[in-house]
Structures are given as C-alpha cells and as structure tokens.
Amino acid sequence: MATTTATRVDTPRAPRPDDAPRKRRKVEPIYYLFLLPALVLFSLAITLPAIMGIFYSFTNSIGFGEWDFVGLINYQAMFSDPAIWQSYLFTFGFAAATVVVVNVIAFLLAVGLTARIRMKSGLRAIFVIPMVISGIIIAYVFNYLFSNSVPKLGNSLDIGWLSESVLANPDLAWVAIVIVTAWQAIPGTLLIYIAGLLSIPEDVYEAADLDGASKLQALLRITLPLVSGYVVINIILGFKGFLNAYDIIVGLTNGGPGTSTRSIAMTIVTGFTGGDYAYQMANATFFFLITIVLSLVQLRATRGRSTL
Amino acid sequence: MPSPQQISRRTILAGVSAAALTTGAAGCSSSSGREPVRFLLSKPEAIPYFRDLVATFNSSQKDVEVVLDSSSNLQAGFLRGNPPDLGLLNYNMEMARFMARGALSDLKDMPEAGRILPEVQKLVNNLAAYPGRTSVLPYSVMAASVIYNKKIFADNAVEVPETWDDFIAVCEKLKTAGITPIYATFKDAWTVSQGLFDYTVGGMVDVAGFYDQLRKEGTNVGPTSKVSFSKDLAEPVSRMEMLAAKYTNQDAASRGYGDGNLAFSKGEGAMYFQGPWSLGEIAKSGPDLELGTFPLPMTDDPASRKVRVNIDLAAWIPEDSTRKQAARSFLSYLFQPDVMNAYNAAQLGYGTTTDAAPVTDPRILGMKPYFDEARFYQGASQAIPLTIPTENYLQGIVTGAGVEPTLQTLDADWARLALRQ
C-alpha cells in the first residue's frame, strides 16, 4: 500500500485508469450488471412517467384522445386557483406540525427505550408495530374511533368538546390527521433515534455524571448535540414525506369537511382522475420542483457531518 | 471466489430460466376456445345479482365466456387502450367525458337501440353528446325522491306534503314530537349532493336549461353573468342549508351512508333523502318497515313537483375493444325484456324500454306517475365536471361554510375550467 501511495504522490500528472491496480478493472462490469435491473425499473416506473407528465403539463390533454399544445396556460391558471394554494398551505402547515409532534415524541421514546429498563426489546417491538400496518387501514380504523368511540366516551364522561366527532369540525379535522399520521410515522423516526442514541459512547455520560450534571442537563447539553445529525435527517426526511400525505387523509376525511383537509397529492389525484390531467400535471411539476429544492437543502445540511 | 467467467454464465442461465417461468405462467389463461368478454360492472348492490346472471349466460351457450370485472379502474383502462369489452355503469360526467371524445362505439344499428324510451334517451344527451352516434344504451333508471317511514307519519298524523309550506309544517310537527324529521349523513359527501342538494335545486330550477346556459357563458360565469351558481342556485341552496341546520340529526356530520341506512331502518328518522339503492340496504336490517316515496315540494304549486332520475346503469362498448361482436351478443342477452324486467324489479329501478314492465314495488310506486309523465330532472350535482369538488363544497355548506362564498367559488371554478378546456 505504501509503495502505491508513494508512486501517486511522486508523479505530477493526474492518475489515469491505467495506473489503477490490474485487479480492479476485472470486477467493474459485474457491478454495472447489479445496478442494471434497479436502474431500468426506476427509469421506467419513475423517471419516464415524470418526464411524460412534465411534457403533458404544456398541453390540454385529458389523458387520452386528442390534445394540443397550450403553452403556459395551465401554469397561469394554477397560480390563480385558490383551491390549489389552499391545498399547499394546508399540506405545508400539516407537515410542519406533524414533524414537530413526531420528532419530539420519538426522541423522548428513544431516550426511554435506550435507558436501563426492563423488557427493552419487547417494548421496542411493540412501538414499531404501527409502521408495518398499511396507512389506509389505520385511517379507516381511526375514522371509526373518532366518529363513534371517542364521542361516546366524551358523552359518557360529560366532556363537551370530546362529544362531537373531531373529524366533522372543519377547523379541527387537521388535528386528527396529525395524530394518525404521527402514530404511523413515529416508529420509523424512533428507530433512527435509537440508532443515534446507541452510537453515543458511555464514557461521555460518565464524565458528565462525575462533573455533577443532572439527568436533564445531560439530556440537553450532551445527548441532543451529539444526535443533532440524526435530528436534522429526521426533520428533513419527515417533512418531505409528510408533504406526500394522501392515504391517511383519504381514509379519515377524504378532504373534508368541505375542502378543509385537501392535501396537494389529493388535489392532483382527484383532478386527473376527473379528467383534468394536464392541469394537475402542471401542479405536480411545480410540487416536484419544490421537492427538489427541499432535497438540495437536505444535502447541504447534512454535508460534512462525520456522524451520519 | 468464482471467477468472472463463471459468474456471467450463471447469470445468463438464471435469466433464461426466469424468463421461461414467467412466459409459462402467462400462458395459463383460459384457452377453452371461447371468446372472453370482459364485463365491467361496479355497482356494489348489483354485483351478486350479475354474478349469477353471468354464470347463467356462460352455461347457456358455448361461444362467449363473460368475465365479470368489478374493480378495474375505468380511466386507467381507457388510457392504456385496453378498456373492458362491455361496460354497464352509472351514466355520469365521467362516462360523458369518454363519450364526448369518441371513445365509445356506435350502437345505433342494434335492435335494442330502437326500444329505448325517447325521454330516457334525451337524458343521455343532457350531459354530453357525440353527434351521430348512439354511444350508450340506458339499462336502468333510478327515480329518487324523499323516502319516508309510513308508520311514523301515521303515528304523528302527518300527511305527505304537496307544497313547500306543508313540508316545513310536517318537519316542525315531527321535531316538536321529538322525532328527527330528516336523517342525514354528512360524513359521506355524495349523500349530501345526491339528496339534499339535488332535491332542493331540482324542485325549483330547470336543471337542464340552467346548465345549457351555463355552458354557453363559459368563462364569463361570475357575478356579472346572466346565469351563475350564485345567482340561480342561491335560493334552493339556502333552503338546503336551513333544512340541514334545523331538521337533521345532531350527529349527522359523523354519520356515513352505512350508518344512515342502519339508523333509518331502526326508525331513528322520519324521512331519508336517498335513492332506491338504499332501500335494499335498509331492508337488510329492517325488513318489515313500510316505506314510501314522495317528491320534495319546493314551491307552492303541487303540479311543479318532479322526481330526480339518473341513468343508474347504461351499456356501452368501447371503440378500442377487439371483441365487439361477442360483447354485443352479451348485450343483447342483457337487454332481453325478461332479463331487464327481472333486474329492475330486483333493484327497484325503472325500465328504460318501451316494453318494460311497470314497477309494482310499493316502496317506489309513488314515483311511477312522475316517471310515466316525464316529470323528472337529472341531478344538478351530476352535470358539473368531476374536477370541481362539488360534493366537498356542498358538504362544507351543511357543516357550516357559507352559502354565498361557496357558490361564488363554484362560479370561479367553472369559469377557470372553461378557460382551460
């Protein structure tokens, strides 16, 4: 190894592929073969339809039949459509609220589940269960609970505000959606936080204990800074994921009451199954651009971090 | 570690065997020599009925094998170029969209087309038309109006109202007696648009004429246009809001279609703004209920009363189908008078042909004179393109949103849609 490094440092020209050890070139084609199936599937299923969608956003196609190019009319109409702006407002607000709820609860749970308690693995398994159930099933079960069980409970305990179904209230239905989405999203976040907490060496806590720090001070001053990389990842990934909220909203309120809980994805899907294909493709293209910006922010925020 | 030579040979062999397996599995479809016809029917209440019918047809002849499909996505089928061979579906804006783009084949030359009642065929053209073609053949028309519990009415000495004021008086009387006058299910938005909205609007407004004019206005629809939602529908929709606020059950916003059927069958409401499709569901939990129907009177002129109709099932064969002849043979089977009459009798529909048997079920008999004299209208909510979330807007109104702003939103959406298309 030392000789190879020395050779590289001595020669002034940039290392060419010929300089690489003979052994490496023989294995390379196999790696391309490994990549090929995933690459092909990804392109066919995701990249190609996305490009077609962007193309159709400049037409007036309804998905089949004849269509013409209409330039930027769809985008113009989109920017003046209050329903679309309302859906963006709702989705971003909902994603922000859910990210906060999910991360706070998941972090506290992770701290608890990595402490010295009994039945650690059993509890961890239980808390991961919501992640494996399909979103729409969770939504329908919670729909029933919110519409029937909770009001009955509120009635029997004589609690006024609990006696009416929260899903029927245009101002509060979003709270129910946050609760159910958080319920499903916490396990994933929890696993990442557990991994982060387990990566902190024990001696840091011992040193803090020796210096007289309380548990709370240890949590805030030592744990949090050391898992900051994980926190950033969870927040950004979570935010992007919650922007796609669809199946839980459909099962819980279907955009109702009225149109108070329509997310961006719902608007797009309802629009183009109703025949507004090209228009919603414009909406989808705009949403795609926003997601790209968010992804760039995420890459920037996590660059140069040694842990994660 | 195996050398690269061995790896590539192994991968080739693996690939070939995988390909052989998949092609072998694909070849396992029916190869009994009969022509398969994919028959799309997704009306949930009718699926068991048609499953038996398809089995009867398949065993009665040897040329065609009909496969009942209840779950394919229609839009996706047309987009991919492989729609079902024969569709028997609700005729609404979605189907009208396909028809207007020429996606449905012409059935004018079939003898069944000549038997359709002209007033019913006119209903088809109210939503959209492809000139020169008969794209759909109506199979069953559902007449819908207010379903009422005869026993509750009799117990409270209440008569079927014939004017709007009578109707309000009936509601007041029932309310003071502690009975929910109208059982409502706001959680399922479609029940609001199909029931409360369509009945109130249809009883006061000439729906077909209104939409004709609205289409002509196109992008001009708004506060200054001759016709608009906020101008012409303000009165009926305000009345709808009043009915929803004063005479419905307290928990309507958290009740869905299934809950409503169950509750009405238990006698928890005197009137139910639903169509005959719910009568079968209600009968499951309340077989001994005596129910009747009457059109919602919206004016003080009893002669202006009309019932809401919709073409619940209409048959069509897409242009893209490669088995049109086989599909047509099944269509002819379905349109035989005894088959049609049996279906309409079982599902409480009205026949669409000149030789259809008259309805006899006491629950829908009240609407027969209206149907026979063509005193009907198509629901106002059914003529709005699906990209405008009409049902959700109406659900918003009955759960507290204002009538004026919602109707203005409808106007703006309509104008914007006209601009785009």
What residues does each domain of chain A span? 2-56, 82-302
CB of A63 within 8 Å of a chain B CB? The answer is yes
Across the interface, of A27, A164, A170, the residue whose CB is closest to B400 is: A170
d(CA A196, CA A103): 13
Residue B16: the pLDDT is: 60
Assess contact for A284 and A243: CB atoms under 8 A: no
The CATH superfamily holding the domain B144-308+379-420 is Periplasmic binding protein-like II (3.40.190.10)
Number of H helices, E strands in chain B: 19, 11
Q: What is the mean pLDDT of chain B?
A: 87
CB contact under 8 A, B254 and A73: no
- Taking CB atoms and an 8 Å cutoff, what residues of chain A touch B191? none
- Region B151-175: mean pLDDT is 93
Pick the CATH number of A82-302 from 1.10.3720.10, 3.40.50.300, 3.40.50.720, 2.40.30.10: 1.10.3720.10
At residue B347's C-alpha, the angle toward residues B366 and B64, to 5°, is 145
Chain A CB contacts of B401 under 8 Å are 170, 258
pLDDT beneath 50: ranges in chain A: 1-8, 306-308
Instruction: State mean pLDDT over B387-415.
Output: 91
Q: What's the pLDDT tens digit per position in B188-238?
A: 999 999 999 999 999 999 998 999 899 888 888 888 889 999 999 999 999
Q: What is the pLDDT of residue A216?
A: 84
Helices B403-420 and B234-246 pack at an angle, to 10 degrees, of 130
B101 contact residues in A (CB cutoff 8 A): 62, 64-66
Do B421 and A60 lie within an 8 Å CB cutoff?
yes
Residue A163 in contact with partner chain B when CB distance is under 8 A: no
Whether the per-residue pLDDT at B40 is higher than 70: the answer is yes
Give residue B29's pLDDT: 47
A247/B contact by beta carbon, under 8 A = no
CB-CB under 8 Å, B400 with A256: no
Chain A residues in contact with B396 by the CB 8 A cut-off are 170, 256-260
Tell me whether residues B75 and A26 touch, CB distance under 8 A.
no
Instruction: Give the CATH superfamily of B35-143+310-373.
Output: Periplasmic binding protein-like II (3.40.190.10)
> Nearest Cβ partner of A256 from B386, B392, B419?
B392
pLDDT of residue B30: 47
Query: How is residue B45 annotated by DSSP?
Result: G
Tell me which chain A residues have a C-beta less than 8 angstroms from the C-beta of B385.
274-275
Per-residue pLDDT tens digits for B279-307: 988 999 988 899 999 999 999 999 999 99
So what's the pLDDT on residue B346?
87
- Which of A77, A170, A276 is opposite residue B419, by nearest beta carbon? A77
Please check whether residue A73 is in contact with residue B420, taking contact to mean a CB–CB distance below 8 angstroms: yes
Beta strands in B285-361 (DSSP E): 291-294, 307-316, 350-351
The encoded tokens of residue B42 equal 């997704």
Cβ B37 vs Cβ B64: under 8 Å: yes
CATH 3.40.190.10 placement within chain B: 35-143+310-373, 144-308+379-420
First to last CA, chain B: 64
Out of A62, A65, A256, the one facing B395 most closely (by C-beta) is: A256
CA separation for the pair B404, B411 (Å, rounded): 11
Residue B190 in tokens: 């479609």
Residues of B engaging A, defined by a Cβ cutoff of 8 Å: 4, 7, 11, 75, 78-79, 94, 97, 101-103, 186-187, 189, 251, 253-256, 385-387, 389, 392-393, 395-397, 399-401, 409, 412-413, 416-417, 419-421
pLDDT for residue B74: 82
CB contact under 8 A, A165 and B253: yes
Does residue A154 sit at the B interface (CB-CB below 8 Å)? no
Q: Tell me the mean pLDDT in the region B132-151.
A: 91
Would you call A37 an interface residue with chain B, using a CB distance cutoff of 8 Å? Answer: no
Q: What band does B24 get if pLDDT is binned at 50, 70 and 90?
A: very low
| B251/A64 CB distance under 8 A | no
Question: What is residue A2's predicted lDDT score, i.e. its pLDDT?
Answer: 46
Cβ contacts (< 8 Å) between B222 and chain A: which residues?
none
pLDDT of amino acid A5: 47
